[in-house]
Structure 1
Amino acid sequence: MTTAIEEKNTAFVLDALDTLFNKKDYEKAAQFWSDAYVQHSRHVPAGRDGLFGLVRSLSDIRFEYDMVIAKDDFVWVHSRYTSSATPAAMIALDILRIEDGKLVEHWDVLQDEPTRSESAGGYPMFGNTFPDEQ
């Protein structure tokens, strides 16, 4: 059962990710991320400035999600990130922690989205179709 705070945190995280990755509204996005934001990622430079710099460098990057789970101050988002800078979309499990109304910490697990012929299990990693069948 989802509590009111978990629903609020889910909406907050989805709005933050959309604002940064899709709208590229860095001024508004800064309101979501803490100045002391901690990034636990192999691919994203440290801190809020590192994240925003990466998004700026990938000007056409897009974020979408298909599943979200919230528990207390944590939100897990099953995401897809697409950009012309990479040959395949990146499928992610993003884990974000909220404290005092700001995103303060992030972890991710990332892998390239496979086509049907690349998928050992025969099922898409995101949504109901493989990227080469959309």
Structure 2
Amino acid sequence: MRHSAHIAPGREGLFGLIKTLPSEWKHELDLIMAEGNMVMVRGRFSGHGMPAPWITVEFVRMQDGVLAEH
């Protein structure tokens, strides 16, 4: 699973990133849409020290109820 170019691959990369985030950091879900096994998640990241929140759209593929691809 690959999250972003600046995050190490795999679960360890994601958990490593989360451990470095400030306590003010938060993610708010705006919209979740699904068709078949594909899911789109639109959200807002704030509290990261930047002047404006980040608006993101993530696309994931589910397989047997488990995240299979990001």
Q: Relative CO higher for 1 or 2, CA cutoff 8 Å, sep ≥ 6?
A: 2
1:69 to 33, 44, 53: 33
Sequence identity percentage:
38
Tell me which amino acid in the other structure corresponds to 1:48: R
Structure 2, unmatched stretches of 5+, are none
CA drift of 1:40 comes to: 4.5
Structure 2 counterpart SS, 1:51: helix
Q: Is contact 2:43–2:55 with CA below 8 Å preserved after alignment?
A: yes
2:62 to 62, 77, 98: 98
Which consecutive aligned stretches of 4+ in structure 1 deviate over 6 angstroms post-superposition?
Answer: none
Q: How does 1:1-134 map to 2 (within 5 A)?
A: 38-60=1-23, 61-106=25-70
The number of residues matched between the two structures is 69
Structure 2 counterpart SS, 1:39: coil
CA drift of 1:95 comes to: 0.9
TM-score between both structures, scaled by the size of structure 1: 0.45
TM-score between both structures, scaled by the size of structure 2: 0.77
RMSD, matched Cα: 1.8
CA drift of 1:46 comes to: 0.8
| Structure with more of its chain in helix, by fraction | 1
Structure index of larger Rg: 1
| Structure with more of its chain in strand, by fraction | 2
